[in-house]
Amino acid sequence: MNYKTWLFFLFSISIFAQKTDNEAFNKLNQSAIWQLELKDKGTKNWESNWFLDGHFAEIKNTPKGMFFNAGPEERNDAHHAVLWTKKSFSGDLKIEYHFTRTDTKTQWATILYLQATGTGVAPYVEDISKWNELRKTPVMKTYFNNMKAFHISYASFENDNTDSNKDYIRLRQYPVKPGENFSTTTEIPNPYLETGLFKTGEIYKITIIKTAEKLYFNVSGKEISKLFTWDISHNPQLNEGRIGLRHMFSRSAIYKNFSVYTRK
């Protein structure tokens, strides 16, 4: 097989896999298996459904949705912020919401946490609301060392980046194994780079579906729709926990119509 034939073969496999993923996602997304567990339009008191890690965040409910702004001081861990659902969710999940980025940063991450619990090693008990005080300063290592969770970073940039086109979407799983490194051991292959998504001021509908085998992350905007997928079948299973919205210092966005479904 010559080089051009090999490239065509790989391209064909990629197209077939993408088509298969899209078909599987659409079937799951449209299925009647889902039962609504949480619905928050973002226009009323956020404290009804969420609690906050971090003291410097600004959270406002508006007709456009819930405005969530982390603290303004970059490189100060106290200015990170995480909003957690008060409810925990078990089993397969479907999450939908509208996301509008309101900052113009070319650095730092916004993150969605899925089914987060403590590791169970004292004082990091499974119910994370029991150790809120330990997250008053929401330094990242407190989370990735002491929680079990999936972490989806999106509308995100490397810490030294200056190019607004060089965003990324990554999936990670916590916790970091003792003696190992967050950057190299938590990531689930493969990252997606320069997605063309999450322009400031534009509304995107995000749909996440998590099963025991796959995690789907679908983003639909005014003129674009993309599906991102990861195989999680060989990873430790996460079956129950809270959902979190993390903004690194200086990052901000509006969230509207945040809905969580579990399998009936």
Q: What is the DSSP string of 205-225?
A: EEEEEE-SSEEEEEEE-SS-E
3-state helix, strand, coil in the chain (%, to 5): 20, 45, 35
pLDDT at 6: 44
Which CATH number describes the domain made up of 34-263?
A: 2.60.120.200
pLDDT at 9: 42
Q: Which two tokens stand for residue 14?
A: 């990629």
Report the alpha-carbon distance of residue 110 to residue 35 in Å, rounded.
27
Q: What is the DSSP string of 72-118?
A: S-TT-GGG-EEEEESS-EESSEEEEEEEEE----SSEEEEEEEEEEE
In a structure prediction context, what are the per-residue pLDDT tens digits for the chain, which is 264 residues long?
Answer: 554 554 444 344 454 456 789 999 999 999 999 999 999 999 999 999 999 999 999 999 999 999 999 999 999 999 999 999 999 999 999 999 999 999 999 999 999 999 999 999 999 999 999 999 999 999 999 999 999 999 999 999 999 999 999 999 999 999 998 888 898 899 999 999 999 999 999 999 999 999 999 999 999 999 899 999 999 999 999 999 999 999 999 999 999 999 999 999
pLDDT at 2: 53
Our measurement of the distance from residue 213's CA atom to the centroid of its chain's CA atoms, rounded to an integer in Å, reads: 17
Quote the DSSP letter at residue 176. Answer: P
Alpha helix segments (H runs only) across the chain: 3-29, 140-146, 182-185
Task: Give domain limits for the chain.
Answer: 1-30, 34-263
Instruction: Record the pTM.
Output: 0.93
